[in-house]
């Protein structure tokens, strides 16, 4: 089980905004700076986009978060789960979910690629999520 980023300490001082960004990321799992700004402005109306950007950059540099696949808007998205894992992304709404594709799936993909290629990183599987399917979005 992964450790909560709210409980992790960064090498530099922790401000109320750092704590708030950590909490927001814990809640969302994956978020852009714009998502985080909107969430934080409910409690801290004066927080700026620059502050959120600086906090996420610091958390990224410290290894507390990592980059996630970008959504339909191509904005940088952060992932609270900094352990290696794969993702499912809805091509309609941009929903991003963590998943773990097993070694047999990776082996099958490598075999279909042929030429002795091997997968060395995380995979992103795209499709349509349940909510978009039920709404008839495609």
Residues of the chain within CATH 3.30.1490.190 domain(s) are 86-135
- Domain 86-135 class? alpha beta
Residues of the chain within CATH 1.10.10.10 domain(s) are 16-79
Residue 14's pLDDT band, with cuts at 50, 70 and 90, is confident
Beta sheet of 124-127, edge-to-edge order? 96-99, 86-90, 124-127
Residue 4's pLDDT band, with cuts at 50, 70 and 90, is low
* CA distances (Å), origin 72, targets 82, 91, 96: 22, 7, 11
Reported as a single tens digit per residue, the pLDDT across 74-91 is 999 999 999 999 999 999
Tokens 């089980």 belong to 1
Q: Can you read off the two tokens belonging to residue 27?
A: 């809640």
Q: What is the CATH number of domain 16-79?
A: 1.10.10.10
Residue 114's pLDDT band, with cuts at 50, 70 and 90, is confident
Reported as a single tens digit per residue, the pLDDT across 19-71 is 999 999 999 999 999 999 999 999 999 999 999 999 999 999 999 999 999 98
Give strand ranges (E) for 11-106: 30-32, 66-68, 77-79, 86-90, 96-99
pTM, to two decimals: 0.81
Q: What is the pLDDT of residue 5?
A: 57
| Strand, helix or coil for residue 70 | coil
């Amino acid at each position: 089980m992964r450790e909560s980023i709210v409980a992790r300490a960064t090498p530099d001082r922790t401000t109320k905004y750092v704590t708030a960004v950590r909490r927001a990321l814990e809640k969302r799992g994956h978020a852009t700076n714009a998502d985080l700004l909107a969430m934080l402005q409910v409690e801290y109306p004066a927080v700026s986009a620059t502050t959120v950007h600086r906090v996420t950059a610091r958390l990224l540099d410290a290894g507390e978060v990592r980059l996630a696949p970008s959504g339909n808007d191509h904005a940088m998205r952060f992932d609270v789960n900094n352990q290696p894992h794969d993702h499912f992304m809805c091509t309609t709404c941009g929903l991003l979910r963590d998943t773990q594709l097993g070694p047999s799936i990776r082996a099958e993909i490598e075999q279909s690629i042929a030429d002795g290629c091997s997968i060395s990183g995380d995979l992103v599987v795209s499709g349509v999520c349940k909510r978009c399917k039920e709404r008839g979005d495609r």
